[in-house]
Structure 1
């Protein structure tokens, strides 16, 4: 691991931190002046093999001949992702605010509690290592991100289709990234050197859509003063992406079918057939089979488009990808706004993973843009998340496994009546994006090899903690205990804090974050409840 760089003109501060970090097996390198730090960073940047850059920088704010805040600014220019902890006096609140505004990871008040200082530095180390891994992943996978099994199946399908120009129908909810998949299919195809042209058939008025698709001749209608090439001609030799194909007007569906079957079309007002050599990829959030039954979509066109069907999972079906996507979008938003990228705490990430994301990946991208602008600190905490996330009910984080895309849907059997007594099963919605039956069938498989539903066993559910609390309260009330409220509250808070400290290996600040309370609150509670020994252990 790279060393922790310590910058302070006070040798006693450097000595204490060096010894404390050595006990934690954290290497250190000490400096007495900001100029020494900048020179050392310049050596690292120049590629000196004898020099190793810092994992974390801990700097005093007031030193002879230099300021920690000025050092922070210059370090952020040289190494933007390096966590910097600024040490400052209790009364120097303006400096603490300035440190955060300039991108400090955290500030450490002097005089500081040594275990807290070590805990803070270790958290910065973990954040630094996490950012390094994230940057490596983003460099390796800049085109599309996804490690969840459902997304891996999509990637495999794109790979299998890379040698073909077959027509593909992409289904999935709005905001799930259907155009990204279409672009990937084009990029990894035999027509990758040709143009990629996209059109949203739901966003263009019906009267203009025909001209947009097929072009028009001069004088074809009022205002047509010149000949105009349509999207089919613009996409010649490449790929035409027809988004929201389910909203295409019925009469235009006939013209599209003719192009797909004959390979030629006529411009509006034209009499000469135009040859078309275009690969067509279509996408929809609608159930096209249902639209066919209702008479809103041509059945023959449906079969022309449904050569290969590729279902894109909703974000709630791939919760494991939320942390990776969140960090990616935070980096992207920072680049767009010209600011330093913000980091996100584990507690905030955990809450995002438990959000249902009705707007899918697009909603997550918008949330990250909102956080880049609105979150007050450089590290996004749980409380910084927008109201729609904090106020939404939690959803279980379950990762259904999606099947390899199939060219045609397979109808599912009707569920047996006993299924109503089963434990909840993660099955995709049968609405906008859940109608591709192969994936729905696959989502049942993780329960076991048997497909037939198994009735739930007789009621043998253990009583919840509320029942145990009720029994304990009744016992205390029966014995005449005068302070039942205080007794049970102390026991409840003690157990909750102990459990959080065990989960965070004794790190108080992280425990407070995950419990959703302030660090001053958890310190006060630990003292009041006499948990200091448990915390230090």
Structure 2
């Protein structure tokens, strides 16, 4: 991870923050004035910048403006002992992540820096995925209709409502609409209204003033302010609480809103794109969704087809995801036979493109050979019947081309005849729901106690798994689990007294190493994938001697 930069002419402040961040295993670099910060930015970049507002040789507000010109996504926290309104307003208008008045509680200051680091890491991951995504082309007629609509909307700021089943890729369409709009240089801010508790959602959307409620230690900008000049994507809008729908309607009507606890109206120049998997007309009839808000959102509606409605895209998608998973895991890409593809094409995919991506990730880890056959598919696909009449023969069978060529990704956003559409990758693969253990000939079942952590690190299902007994050492989890099993037998036969501790250390080290490889060394993300805390992974790395 890149270091946290601290800019403050007060040596005591620098010393206290340096020591506190070092205890949190966060790298630190300190500066005494803005000039040195700007000079350092020529060769380096911080994960987060924490800057005083008044320093010799320049203002923290001026430094904030210059930093934001070069690194718009960099979180900057402004500190000051002069807690006046003008300073706070200037900081937030300049794009500061937060405003930290002195004297501050050290624990809360570190929590704030941690929150900024997490935000920065998420932005880094999104940027990497966006850069790695190729230009794409959807072959199914249903997706061509979507591409044409996106092309026609490319120079418009009109409100759009995206509908479609879960996993179809609605956020990716929103990204494409933003990227090809006049607001492309502005921020794209997304919020899932169904994933945030009702009591917090209002503050997340509109922000809050200091002291507005218990725990509101500082003023916080909401998503509308963060998206000023850009696009705000409201996912799962059908689940928004009824009383908040009223506030949202007012913002859409006149562009004005109040922070929680605020008394002065704020304006935000924001384009709203909403999405839902629900039938909003039915929600209106049930009295769960405001009719006037529905009509305000439903200016242009884009419906994303389910994957079962565009089966001809499944082979290309499957090959793309197998290559993508192989790159992420650092292994050779699996190939898939026509018979296995026929079963994929016949499957209805209730989880849509996201489910197909998860299955391809699962196959990359668990398939025993380099060519995936029908018997290697996960249990939920074993009962699908290939389409009659040799339908697969008419589907595209060429391998995925290099980065610049045409393939379909989640929601099949791509370069239509009207407009090329680079899009971001889907979110991290989730678990493939399955409760049935399976075992192909020549395999030995491994208990879930051993398999679940491996599955968690790789982002696949934690149900009982099978690992090929005769698999080569390089075949993902199977190889090193088999080696570990052989070593366990040898140690048990030798009568060694510390077998448990010895093997546990090896197992934990391998799990952490695998997770860190997947996250390119980012410990916070690796801990999240493993289901442990950031302090736990740091302690384990030190105990296992992995940071030497």
For the aligned pair, the TM-score class normalised by the smaller chain equals 0.3 to 0.5
Per the normalisation by structure 1, the TM-score is 0.47
Larger radius of gyration: 1
